[in-house]
Homo-oligomer: A and B are copies of this chain.
């Protein structure tokens, strides 16, 4: 799986050998390549964590911001220049824990960005504490008696928030992941892809094998346009379905709704102040 356009050549990658993040990196490069996206027109936005290091490993513009805060700058970037392709990508702790409030409200806001979450069910970079998606009973140095909180179900929450595109993939299946990444990026609006990714160092429970044993694909006949069915499938108690759970093709992205681009599609950086108009606004304050 080679992708020249986005390749960085011989660089030092800080991930552990065998980590699922490598697969996601390869899949992402391949996807972008196949979609013929120009690196100069792409912005990868991430937070902090192992997953969040991804922008450093491919050739692209990027904004590697704060832990938990990938979505707000991604929104700000897209809204300031809608011609950019914007992908917000981080770990499960970053997106669903520290960044939980942005997750909710970005879905409500619906900017045309793709949100890829590396879900390894653990905090990798900080060495193995529970993440919001850690399963009950998962023992860590902090959760000494095992996780007692209800695991966060990102798909169910996204569907509850009426997100326009909601999918889950497993990085053990790269081809299918590429396929879904493509659809997510092409979707006009906020698209969530939760990628199941083994952390070989700190998560000895949810391994490649565990994911293989505990996932399956939604049937071909599955209709991804029904929100109630999507919810039902997203909350199935046993195995984790993979695929596109829900698509709502009728949403208008945030930046289109803001009104700033209705008469003028120039990105904000290229605009000038209308000083004439400002002068007349000021002079209005001379009147009653």
Contact = CB atoms under 8 A, between A and B. Distances in A.
A231 B34 CA distance: 38
Interface string A98-116: 1011001101111000000
Contacts of A231: 160, 228, 231-232
A152 B257 contact: no
Interface in A112-153: 132, 145, 148-153
Interface residues of A, number: 33
Given A153-B161, A232-B228, A104 B107 contact: no
A159 interface: yes
Nearest to A150: B108
A232 to B, nearest CB: 5
A254 B258 CA distance: 42
B157 A257 contact: no
A287 B152 CA distance: 42
Nearest to A256: B148
Given A110-B149, A145-B259, A228-B228, 7 more contacts: A100-B100, A101-B104, A108-B132, A109-B149, A157-B160, A228-B235, A231-B231
Contact of A156 (B97, B160, B258): B160
A227 interface: yes
Contacts of A228: 228, 231-232, 235
Given A228-B231, A231-B231, A148 B100 contact: no
A100 B104 contact: yes
B160 A107 contact: no
A215 interface: no
Contact of A104 (B145, B157, B162, B235): B157
